[in-house]
Amino acid sequence: MRRRSLLAAALLPPALAGCGFQLRRAPELPFTKLALVGFAPRSPLADELKRTLEPTVEVVADPNRAEAVLQAIADRRERSVTALTAAGQVRGVQLRVRLEFRLTTPGGREYIPDTTLQLARDMSYSETFALAKEQEEQQLYAAMQTDIVLLLMRRLAEVKKA
């Protein structure tokens, strides 16, 4: 039995390589210098985007030195009540992360026109567990922010430079 396990473990990597399996990696972007414009000074989304871009793309402050300019039109976190009890207490909320952006050249030619990326998550709420629910809310916002950055990276990778 043990021999079979060792044999299967030895044959598994070549079999996976033969089928085209690869670990997920960051998409290759068609430019090496990118300027981020329009984000709030301490935007967590912009910070995560910079960290994601850094291995392959240099983020520059001056849009004139960049090959492409990512302009944030809106970068918002929203929270709305979705359910109330008969006594008027909140029982459900919806959390949303919204990014409206465009990608242009420093000269103003559009690579990607105005685009909106929005994610929403529903969350139950209880006054009894307010502190825990606040922590859960922050974790959901962080997860949605990571998803938005990954979606944005895929969009940036599809840009065709002329």
Domain boundaries, the chain: 2-157
Spatial CA neighbour of 72 closest among 107, 33, 30, 44: 44
pLDDT band with cut points at 50, 70 and 90 for residue 128: confident
Tell me: the pLDDT tens digits for 52-68? 998 889 999 999 999 99
- The closest of 99, 89, 101 to 141, measured between CA atoms, is 99
Tell me the CATH architecture of domain 2-157: 2-Layer Sandwich (3.30)
Q: Which two tokens stand for residue 18?
A: 């033969």
| This prediction's pTM | 0.79
Instruction: State the sign of the Cα–Cα–Cα–Cα dihedral 153, 140, 122, 82.
Output: negative
Reported as type and span, the H/E element at residue 122 is: strand 110-124
